[in-house]
Amino acid sequence: ETGVTQTPRHLVMGMTNKKSLKCEQHLGHNAMYWYKQSAKKPLELMFVYNFKEQTENNSVPSRFSPECPNSSHLFLHLHTLQPEDSALYLCASSQGAGGPGDTQYFGPGTRLTVL
């Protein structure tokens, strides 16, 4: 595997379910990100991890819980989601943790549908 991989690619869950999204980067980067992508809206940054430490949490509801066990893996644990949480969830990685020139490399995303 190369680049950034995400599993599953598609997920349908009920509002009372608990599920997890997984992201793995094979680029040797130090920072990893979770984004939410909704149609016709800017990408919403959710969480940033740099060297396994969370450096940003953009007022994300507690029903989203990130976990970064090492610099290569990132999880997003989901519980008691709402239908408005349905979106494409993108994982990205970069060498640094932001700033000019710090290119982010994205995975293909997990398409989440909350019923």
Partner 1 sequence: QQQVKQSPQSLIVQKGGIPIINCAYENTAFDYFPWYQQFPGKGPALLIAIRPDVSEKKEGRFTISFNKSAKQFSLHIMDSQPGDSATYFCAASYSNYQLIWGAGTKLIIKP
Q: Which residue has the tokens 């992201």?
A: 23
Nearest to 113 by CA among 12, 30, 19, 39: 12
Find the shortest distance in angstroms from Cβ 75 to partner 1: 17
CB closer to partner 1 out of 66 and 107: 107
Neighbours of 96 (CB within 10 A): 13
CB closer to partner 1 out of 3 and 14: 3
Q: Are strands 110-114 and 105-106 parallel, antiparallel or unpaired?
A: unpaired
Find the shortest distance in angstroms from Cβ 81 to partner 1: 21
CB closer to partner 1 out of 10 and 16: 10
d(CA 115, CA 85): 10
Partnered with residue 73 across adjacent β-strands are 24, 70
Nearest to 80 by CA among 20, 21, 15: 15
Find the shortest distance in angstroms from Cβ 16 to partner 1: 29
Footprint of partner 1 (CB under 8 A): 4, 40-43, 45, 48, 56, 90-92, 97-101, 103-109
Find the shortest distance in angstroms from Cβ 35 to partner 1: 9
CB closer to partner 1 out of 17 and 104: 104
